[in-house]
Amino acid sequence: MQLDVRRLGRIGYQEALDLQLNLVEERRAERIPDTLLLLEHPPVITMGRSAVDSDILAPTQQLEQAGARVFRITRGGETTYHGPGQLVGYMIANLYEHQRRLKRFIHNLEEVFIRLLDEEYSISAARDDEHRGVWVGSEKITAIGIAVSRGITMHGFAFNVHTDLSHFGWIIPCGITDRGQTSVRALTGRDVSLAQASDAVVRRFPAVLGYSSVSDPDAGSFRTISGSSE
């Protein structure tokens, strides 16, 4: 089973969403293998199927001044934030090649980050019995939200590398009011680049998700398609 990796750099949310929708159809037609998009967004708030308007705490004027946009999308879950310093991964995968088990697929995505955080940064992270994602104590470091269309996944994960954590104060993240957010920088004081974080993620995909080969032509980089990047 092969995985193709595409490193897109900083890219607008709508552009990335349109690309995902196109790749879902390509994957369904078996014209491409499973594909992982690695990227960074300008400030954006996304609202999943369970989100409500009251999840957004910041006034519209504050969001506009910060250049933040709001999107309602088809993934599961509630409201989350994406922005600079956060590594976003969109996973276009055929669940039929992953034992047709969505919960297991999500479990494996979480496992990627539990292993990565321990092995790369000596951070002890874990799952939470109540909330999806990867947590360090009571603080989330990786959010996960997946949508499935006729057996093909889209959306994916958001890994806080050196994210501005104050921006999570604009929302009620994932409907959770009694827990916080953290990042690699906040926990270690290290300025890890998104290129380095991308490499660390890709290295763990074969063992955890069962890929026998990985095509990653831009390994070691984090190139720009639109806007600015590292």
* Length of the chain measured in residues: 230
Q: Tell how strand 34-40 and strand 152-160 pair up.
A: unpaired
How far apart are the C-alpha atoms of 188 and 171, rounded to whole Å? 25
Instruction: Return the SS3 of 221.
Output: coil
This prediction has a pTM of 0.91
Catalytic hit among 174, 197, 202, 209 = 174
Domain architecture of the chain: domains with CATH: 2-215 (3.30.930.10)
CA distances from 43 to 11, 135, 160 (A): 11, 22, 13
Instruction: For residue range 137-180, list pLDDT tens digits in order.
Output: 999 999 998 889 899 999 999 999 999 999 999 998 777 777 89
Least confident residue range of 63-72, 76-85, 199-208, 220-229: 220-229
Find, among 123, 43, 35, 127, the residue nearest to 80 by Cα: 43
Instruction: For residue range 27-47, list pLDDT tens digits in order.
Output: 999 999 999 999 999 999 988
With beta carbons less than 8 A apart as the criterion, state whether 187 and 136 touch. Answer: yes
Tokens of 195: 């290129």
Active site residue 174: yes
With beta carbons less than 8 A apart as the criterion, state whether 20 and 92 touch. Answer: yes
How confident is the prediction for the chain on average, in pLDDT? 90
pLDDT score at 223? 64
- 230: confidence class by pLDDT, cuts 50, 70, 90: very low
